[in-house]
Structure formats: C-alpha cells, structure tokens
Amino acid sequence: MQLYNTLSAEERTIMIDDAGKQRLTLSFYAYAQIKNPTQFRNELFLAWNPLTVLGRIYVANEGINAQLSLPADAFYDFKNTIENYDFMRGIRLNIAVEQDDFSFLKLTIKVRDKIVADGLSDESFDVTNIGIHLKAKEFNDLLGDPDTIVVDMRNHYESEIGYFTNAIKPDVDTFRESLPIIEEQLSQHKSDKKVLMYCTGGIRCEKASAYFKHKGFENVYQLEGGIIEYTRQVKAESLESKFIGKNFVFDHRLGERITDDIVSNCHQCGQPCDLHTNCANEGCHLLFIQCEACARAMQGCCSDKCVVIIQLPEAEQKAIRSGIKNGNKIFKKGKSDVLTFKNNEQSQAIDIEKEPTPNTQHPIPNTQHPTSKNSKTKKTFIGKGTHFFPKPSVGQFLIEENEIKIGDKILIKGSTTGNQEMIISQMFVNDLEANKAVVGDICTFKLPFRIRLSDKLYKLDA
C-alpha cells in the first residue's frame, strides 16, 4: 500500500504535461481535535493520490493546513473526500488568484506538532475565542477608521512585495517571532484601538487573534480568508483593492499578482522588482528578489561565489554542497550579506547591455548601471508555451499573434521562469527548420532553461 510520494519532480512534470489537464491551485485550513493524526494523514494520502492531488499538507492534533493543486475535473471528487470528515464540511477553499499547472510537483503530507509553528502553549488560553471575521468590504471600511491599527501577520519576505497601506509589518523571519513584537508595540492600545489583522489565507490570524484577546486586547478583527479570499471578493464585487503589489505564496509560483504596483526592489541593484527566485546554485538556494537584468548578469545567482560554483562540473558541485546544512541561510530569506542593495541600500547595478563573458574558470559578472535605452524596450505578445520538457533543452510555443523570425530578440516570461531574453539564431516551425513563424504555427527553440506551460513569448523592439 503506497503511503508516500514515489515520483521525482521531473517525472511528475512529464505526467502533468502528458495529461494535458488544467489544474487548480488552492489552500484551506481547519482547527479541530484530531485524535490520531498519523491515521488521518494516511487516509488523506490514500484518498488523494489516485486523484493526482499534489501539494504540501501539515496535520496535527490541532487540525490541518493544506496548500495543494489538483486536476480541475477532479474538484468535486476531491471535495467529497474532505467532506467525509465532519469538521471539514462546508470548509472554505481558497482558490489561487493565478493558476499554474506546475505549482506543486509532489504530494507531501506530514504529521507535525502544530499546523503552524506559533511557539504558543495552547493550554494556556482559549484558542476558540477568536477575533471578529471581516469580509472585504467590511475590511476596507474599517481601514478608513482613524482608530484602526492594521497589522500584517506575515514574515518580512512576504510583506516586502505586497501589503495593505499603512500596515505594521514586523521585520521577522517567522510567525512566532511576530507575536511578542506586536504585543509590545501595541501594548498602549489594548482598549482604545481596533486591531485589524491579515495574512495569506487566514490561518495565522485565527491563532493570533485568540492570543491577543487572551493578552487583553478588546477590539480584535481579522480578514476572513486572508489576502486570497479578499482578492476574490474584491473582483466579484468590483471593490477597490486596498492591498497593493503581490501576494507571496508557498509554492513554485512564489507570488500572485494582485495589483500592478511594484513596491519592492531588486536585492542586488535596487531597481523596482518583485520577482522572488531561489539562487541557481543548489548548494545555496537562497530566496531573494532579482530583476531580469541581474538574473542575466548573475546567471540566476545571489553572489559572485555562486556564479563561479554553477560553472563547475556537476560532480564538483555535489562535492562542495555535500554535508552543508543551509536550512538557516534559506530560512533567513533575503537577509544574506551577499545581497548588496538589500543590505547596503546602495546599488551596484548590473549592466544589462553586456552578457557575462563565458569563463569556465571563474566567471565574474560586470557591474555597471543599466542604461535608459533598455528601459524603453517595447515588447509585443507572440504566444504561449504548449509543451514542457523536464530538462533544460527545448521550449515549444503556439504563435497566437504577430510573427517572429530569425534574428529577432525575444522574451520568455513566467512566474517561475522569470524573464529570459535571447536572440533567435535557429528555430523549428511545425517540426521543420524555418526562418519565420506566423499565427497558428508551433515554434520550437533550443533553450538553456526550462519553460512552463503558463510562460508567455514576446518579441522585443528597441
């Protein structure tokens, strides 16, 4: 009886692509008394694995916290599996704002002490005495109240790319760190102010609101369903979004676009940017914000040292990272000393006119300021990805508008792929080598990176 994921990410990617089905990314949580979390965990795996549910799920004596994806046509079968449990009947499922068929590539269900690491002793207070839930319109109305203090219950790397205006945003790495900081900061306003909290999907506020009420705060409110549900209601009811920027999410997308505002900066050069990425050096894997210019010049890395390492043979890279524990470094997310702008508030901007000189010894990127010429580049939509290959080698696109030809400069853009530019030197159109592709053609390129089916293809014109 299979109770654990047995496929690699690459194998699962091929299966998703071959299935050709649209997938839904969603999240939900429920606090409940679960007597045997291990048995509950195994039951979920046996029910979800045949439906090709993929995701990261935590279960504990106190309940369940789930972020996952599933084929859209299996949604109601999936819903039936969770409604077999009384405490999940009628549960709100937060459907992602932006969809990506490859948001999750494994089904991982883990038994934990807590479904959110809050560092609290639940026996010391009533965890069911929670704050007042507010829908989007009510939340917007209360934001305008001068006696309201709005608090972001997320971590620094989440609030950095998007937030509600005037929110208190604790500079913390973990949820548990934020609780005593917020309590101390608001200690003089336990009775005279309304404390209005929000987080990604609502789960952190559920525990935090009970904790702050226990600590003597009299007027505690929380955004029902978090930023995800707020955005859905804003769109459905044609409300003004008081949340600006992107909502950080914990899957391969690393963010959902809520408004067009870019409220953060590249951690390397300081240019406006809100694209999170992980360092291309697998022995580092640091999460940070990197613009497309720095991504090209730094080859997706966070530092010159990592640029050097990724040029080495794979066997040497494995030897370097063998035995190294990077958990804390990754956990700090965007606070590494190597991130020049993030730490020094000074830009050592990357030259986007120059590609780094290939050097198998120690390739170090050039660092100059971007020119205004590149900022005026016009991009024209061409098409979207139609096939995904698990190894960096080939990208295939359907030409939906306009045309492209040999010599054109193109941009391949996606939430996971980032922004990749190249000049077409060779292409295959409908499986034959050709000089031009027009609307309706299937165009294939050799690429040094992987694409997603959600990636878009643009032509760049200066």
Which of 237, 253, 230, 13 has its CA nearest to residue 142? 230
Element (H, E) at 378: strand 378-387
CB 161 within 8 A of CB 246: yes
CB 440 within 8 A of CB 374: no
What DSSP letter does each residue of 218-230 carry, written as one string?
Answer: S-EEEETTHHHHH
Query: How far apart are the C-alpha atoms of 150 and 165, rounded to whole Å?
Result: 9
Cα dihedral 75→80→86→88 (10° resolution)? -10
Residue position matching structure tokens 């003597």:
216
Sign of CA dihedral 97, 103, 109, 111: negative
For 297, residues 6+ apart whose C-beta sits below 8 A from its C-beta are 350, 351, 352, 354, 355, 356, 365, 366, 367
Which of 440, 418, 360, 428 has its CA nearest to residue 393? 428
Query: How far apart are the C-alpha atoms of 211 and 129, rounded to whole Å?
Result: 9
Identify the active-site residue in 199, 291, 301, 306: 199
Amino acid at 332: K
- Phi and psi for 258 in degrees, rounded to 5? -100, -50
Q: Which residues partner with 395 through β-bridges?
A: 445
What DSSP letter does each residue of 259-281 carry, written as one string?
Answer: SS----B-TTT--B---EEE-S-
CB 149 within 8 A of CB 91: no
Clarify whether 302 is annotated catalytic: no
Active site residues: 199
